[in-house]
Amino acid sequence: MFGLNKKDGTLFLIVIAMTLLAPFIFNPFPTDSAMAQFNAGYPDLLQRFVIFGIFAIGFNILFGLTGYLSFGHAAFLGVGSYAAVWIFKLFTYNVVPAIIFAVIVAAIFSVLIGFISLRRSGIYFSILTLAFAQMSFALAYSVLSNPRFNLTNGETGLQVYDADPQMFHHEGLPGMPHLFGLPMRATHEMTLGGWAFNFNVGYYFSGLFMLLAFYLAIRIFRSPFGMMLRAIKSNNTRMTYTGLNAKPYTLAAFVVSGMYAGLAGGLLAAMDPLAGAERMFWTASGEVVLMTILGGAGTLIGPVLGAGLIKYMENIVSKINDNVLHQWFSFMPDGLEDVMVTLIHPFVGKGWNLTLGMIFVLVVIFLPGGLVEGGQRIARLFRGKKAREAEKSTQSNPAE
């Protein structure tokens, strides 16, 4: 199926189903219920799930397969966003050429950075990538915002204005990013009883790219190229002794990973035609590291799960304030209600990072393989339980 073995094909079908049904899956509560604040099925957040899933999948190809930890991948995310917005400014709001250009520019940029950074390994490689990312941030924030050749518009960010050339744009087309005339923001709302489900063009457009990125990642993982990358991670020195040069393989992985990041950056610009230097800051690079480790580095679905978890907490858990907490515990006596709000307050709202940090610590200590390992342990537990029940049934009912 799709040229994949049974296990990978089943996983890919599950990812396809989850992507298509996401507006239902992430809206489990009626809109007028107290639990509706936990719904994540609105277009903006769904788009972020799949876009940052692409970002994490690409990062995992480098880190999960080769073991090279990059702290500068946000540079390619930012470059992709700037490249896409420049297409919007100069030529057209059509997202197809913008995304193609974003991937090409990110590939060129990653070749330059990777060629230098990969001259070192280990912590030295990580520091080099971090240095390049911070230099890129500084260039975008100040140097390239010089009025003589304003390429980034500094801290304000690069955006599209009415005075921009847009050579292929005309009045018959939407004045926003579109797919051959179909606006990315176009949304159809379907109401079923107390539930409301939104089907957004931009989400499904990004979801299609996420599925393609996931499929390509599977093929890379199972290919001879992927095996070479695993060998580099396992024992690069031994590979060198056999006469194999690992640098072309690591550079190829670095470039592919950078292209994934550029694609994610282009899609971010396609959803909102704005590019800012903050997308290149070191915290954005650290975020994709967290996504990959939380989900499970070196696994296929792990980075997507990690990206979903972090973006869910960033957008949903961060909105839980004291008023919401008081509503939750309003059934308690006043004194006990205040105590519960006081205890939970540091972990929600602005303190969502504290909760994320605790989850990260627990995962690293007890689930080194991330959320995927947790799922595998639960599956083994149920399989073992069924096997024991089958064995007991066989013993209690001997064959005649």
Chain segment 344-358, per-residue pLDDT in tens: 999 999 899 999 999
pLDDT for the residue 37? 87
Give, for 179, the enclosing helix (H) or strand (E): strand 178-179
Cα dihedral 328, 333, 337, 339, rounded to 10, equals -160
- Given pLDDT bands bounded at 50, 70 and 90, which one contains residue 393? low
The total number of residues shown for the chain amounts to: 400
Name which residue leads in pLDDT, 16 or 380: 16
φ/ψ of 58, rounded to 5, equals -65, -45
pLDDT for the residue 93? 95
pLDDT for the residue 398? 45
Which residues, other chains included, contact 170 with Cβ-Cβ below 8 Å and sequence gap of 6+? Answer: none
Give the separation between CA 51 and CA 41, rounded to whole angstroms.
15
Give the separation between CA 235 and CA 249, rounded to whole angstroms.
14
Sketch the domain layout of the chain as residue ranges: 6-27+39-279
Cα dihedral 143, 144, 147, 148, rounded to 10, equals 100
Residue 145 has pLDDT above 90, yes or no: no
pLDDT for the residue 280? 92
Average pLDDT over residues 22-36: 90
- Given pLDDT bands bounded at 50, 70 and 90, which one contains residue 396? low
Residue 239 has pLDDT above 90, yes or no: no
Name which residue leads in pLDDT, 87 or 240: 87
Give the separation between CA 45 and CA 309, rounded to whole angstroms.
12
DSSP letter assigned to residue 81: H
Average pLDDT over residues 88-109: 96
307-343 tens-digit pLDDT? 999 999 999 999 998 988 888 888 888 889 999 999 9
Give the separation between CA 157 and CA 113, rounded to whole angstroms.
23
Average pLDDT over residues 158-172: 87
Average pLDDT over residues 2-7: 87
